Amino acid sequence: MDRMNMLLSATHLLNCEANNLIEEASDVMIAKGLLLGNLKKLHNDFVKCADRYFNEFASLVTTDKCKMDMFDDLQGFDESFRKWAKVPIEWYPRILDENK
């Protein structure tokens, strides 16, 4: 049971991170008018499926302490992952110097 708990916890943490990154990317695509056609449909399908997954997983987390521990773990993981992946939380396009 301990092994199963560790695997499911790690999987949930990865799913949360992936979902957050997908949503961030889709926000950028929407802002630039790039979330179109089949990509938009697939994204919407993913969001619906992810919502079902996260709602079901939430039913397994019953105490406020467990919920707060999960959010603390996610925040720490997000910071470490973004540093490793070189994807900062705040990102702005590089301003090109037109005088060069």
73: containing domain = 2-85
Q: Has residue 72 been placed in a domain? A: yes
Q: Does 47 map to a domain?
A: yes
Residue 21 lies in a domain: yes
User: 14 lies in a domain?
Assistant: yes
pLDDT tens profile 29-69? 898 888 888 999 999 999 999 999 999 988 888 888 988 98
Whether residue 69 lies inside any domain: the answer is: yes
- The pLDDT confidence band at residue 95, using thresholds 50, 70 and 90, is low
Name every residue whose Cβ is closer than 8 Å to that of residue 82 and which is 6 or more positions away in sequence: 88, 89
Angle ∠(10,26,57) on CA atoms, nearest 5: 30
Q: Is residue 99 part of a domain?
A: no
Q: Calculate mean pLDDT across residues 72-83.
A: 93
Exposed/middle/buried for residue 52 (C-beta within 10 Å: 0-12, 13-18, 19+) = exposed
* Residue 74 belongs to some domain of the structure: yes
Q: What's the DSSP call for residue 60?
A: T
C-alpha span between 71 and 77 (Å, rounded): 10
Number of domains making up the chain: 1
- Please state whether the predicted TM-score (pTM) of the whole model is above 0.85: no
Instruction: Let me know if residue 91 belongs to a domain.
Output: no
